[in-house]
């Protein structure tokens, strides 16, 4: 959108320049030069308007498709910590997400509750869910047409233990380089009584035995929990 606004601003500036120049030289002196500039101005305006229309069409198409990727309707069931519709398991988010406050009132009781509470009120009722079906599990994006989350499949977490080390600006556990989040930690991971930047939290644990979990990528080990504490 910023590019479109910039294009419109350029068009407006060109148009203003043409009018100012026309006023300075007089109507009689405009002739073919003004006509040429006017044609360029109209072309640029049509181009900018066309780009805006194409962008709006693409966004509308994307959002419509998100609701139509996979649609399931049925009675919401809950069993052994998992949600189902017609025996198809639903992935609504990890434990951290389910224990966050919902952005919408899914159950229509007038309150914004924890997501698991919102979903609990829907158990046993007929619901419509949308999302992405992978390996027999529906990763939910919408509940009854209400935006829920981006349907991302979670990584399988691997747990490791060992002495936390620091070398040349990076943290290591054994021979694995750890990838940690930037910015402030949501928890006091090193138990020093302060909420600090994640780097400072880990500095307080250097040389200590820690337990972490996460998943490997090409650059290193992405840390999700440290000593059982959410670290993203």
Does the reported pTM lie above 0.85? no
Task: Specify whether 80 is located in the same domain as 107.
Answer: yes
What domain count does the chain have? 3
Residue 27 lies in a domain: yes
Residue 181 lies in a domain: yes
Cβ atoms 198, 180 nearer than 8 A:
yes
Where does a domain end: 37, 68, 99? Answer: 68
Residue 46 lies in a domain: yes
Task: Specify whether 53 is located in the same domain as 83.
Answer: no
CA distances from 216 to 153, 182, 189 (A): 15, 18, 22
Residues 26-51 pLDDT 10s: 545 556 666 676 666 666 666 666 66
Residue 174 lies in a domain: yes
Confidence at residue 166, expressed as pLDDT on a 0 to 100 scale:
95
Task: Specify whether 95 is located in the same domain as 136.
Answer: yes
CA distances from 211 to 17, 115, 189, 227 (A): 66, 28, 12, 5
Q: Looking at residue 167, which CATH number applies to its domain?
A: 2.40.50
- Mean pLDDT of all residues in 190-215: 92
CA distances from 27 to 33, 37, 38, 40, 65 (A): 11, 14, 14, 19, 53
Query: Quick one: pLDDT band at residue 1, thresholds 50, 70, 90?
Result: very low
Task: Specify whether 64 is located in the same domain as 82.
Answer: no
Residue recorded with tokens 């009722």: 125
Q: Which residues contact 50 (CB under 8 A, 6 or more apart)?
A: none
Euclidean distance between CA atoms 216 and 232, whole angstroms: 15
Q: Is 110 helix (H, G, I), strand (E, B) or coil?
A: coil
What are 98's two structure tokens? 């389910």
Phi and psi at residue 107, in whole multiples of 5°?
Answer: -90, -5
Where does a domain end: 38, 68, 98? Answer: 68
- Going by their DSSP bridges, the two strands 88-91 and 137-143 should be labelled as parallel
Euclidean distance between CA atoms 21 and 157, whole angstroms: 67
Residue 176 lies in a domain: yes
Task: Specify whether 41 is located in the same domain as 110.
Answer: no
Residue 49 lies in a domain: yes
Where does a domain end: 147, 167, 199? Answer: 147
Residue 152 lies in a domain: no
Cα 24–chain centre separation: 52
Task: Specify whether 63 is located in the same domain as 80.
Answer: no
Task: Specify whether 172 is located in the same domain as 210.
Answer: yes
Query: Quick one: pLDDT band at residue 191, thresholds 50, 70, 90?
Result: confident
Which residues on adjacent β-strands are paired with residue 216?
221
Q: Is 164 helix (H, G, I), strand (E, B) or coil?
A: strand
Domain residue limits at 142: 70-147
Residues 106-157 pLDDT 10s: 888 888 899 999 999 999 999 999 888 888 999 998 898 888 887 665 567 7
Confidence at residue 133, expressed as pLDDT on a 0 to 100 scale:
87
- Work out the number of other CB atoms within 10 angstroms of the CB of residue 180: 20
């Amino acid at each position: 959108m910023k590019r479109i606004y910039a294009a419109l601003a350029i068009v407006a500036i060109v148009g203003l320049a043409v009018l100012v120049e026309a006023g300075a030289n007089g109507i009689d002196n405009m002739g073919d030069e003004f006509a040429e500039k006017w044609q360029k101005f109209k072309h640029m305006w049509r181009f900018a308007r066309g780009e805006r229309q194409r962008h709006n069409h693409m966004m509308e198409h994307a959002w419509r498709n998100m609701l139509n990727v996979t649609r399931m309707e049925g009675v919401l069931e809950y069993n052994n910590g998992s949600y189902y519709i017609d025996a198809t398991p639903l992935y609504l988010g990890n434990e951290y997400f389910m224990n966050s406050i919902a952005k919408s009132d899914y159950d229509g009781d007038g309150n914004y509750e924890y997501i698991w509470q919102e979903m609990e009120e829907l158990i046993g009722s007929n619901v419509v869910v949308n999302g992405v079906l992978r390996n027999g599990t529906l990763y939910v994006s919408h509940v009854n047409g209400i935006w829920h989350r981006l349907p991302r499949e979670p990584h399988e977490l691997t747990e490791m233990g060992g002495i936390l080390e620091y070398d040349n600006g990076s943290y290591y556990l054994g021979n694995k380089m750890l990838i940690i989040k930037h910015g402030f930690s949501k928890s006091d991971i090193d138990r020093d009584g302060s909420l600090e930047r994640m780097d400072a939290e880990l500095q307080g644990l250097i040389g200590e035995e820690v337990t972490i979990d996460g998943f490997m990528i090409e650059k290193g080990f992405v840390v999700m929990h440290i000593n059982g504490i959410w670290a993203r």
